[in-house]
Amino acid sequence: MFEDVYVRPGDETAKQLHVAMVEQRTTVLQEATSQLPPETLIEDVTVPEDASFQILTNVMDQNFGHRHGKVVWCMGKARVRETGASSSGLNTVEVSALKEGVTTLKGQLTVQNEQMRAQEEQIRAQGEQIRTQGEEMKAYLGHVRDLV
């Protein structure tokens, strides 16, 4: 972790951040190896997939301040959920708009279902008429055969 990071010469801020990340990496590796037998090679030590991201986030927070919100870790990735009042207010407005949209769509579905039921009844009635006409045609053909 962080060995292949290029730090431009003269960029002291980047150099300090890189040094801090390497120090935290060393700490993470020491913690991971402290739980293993002493003969375990450093190459065999496994660290969590998102350890480098956690280290990077910690170093950035320490140097540039913590971003307000709740950090949610899952599936090896982190997301920051805003918890401020403006965010909650915006979410409430969005939720209300979505609820209204859902209600509208439900109403449209109800109307469409009623239309489909009416069409289904019409199709059934037409099918019955066709069946009746078919039977009448058979009877008529039978009568014509008798006459010929």
Q: What are the tens digits of pLDDT across the range 17-65?
A: 777 777 877 777 777 777 777 777 767 777 766 777 777 777 777 776 6
Q: 98-133: b or e for each residue (b if 16 or more CB lie within 10 Å)?
A: eeeeeeeeeeeeeeeeeeeeeeeeeeeeeeeeeeee
Question: Would you say residue 114 has pLDDT above 90?
Answer: yes
- What is residue 41's predicted lDDT score, i.e. its pLDDT? 77
Residue 98 has pLDDT above 80, yes or no: yes
Please give the Cα distance from 87 to 69 (Å, whole number). 10
What is the predicted pLDDT for the residue at 140? 92
d(CA 1, CA 32): 14
**pTM of structure:** 0.35
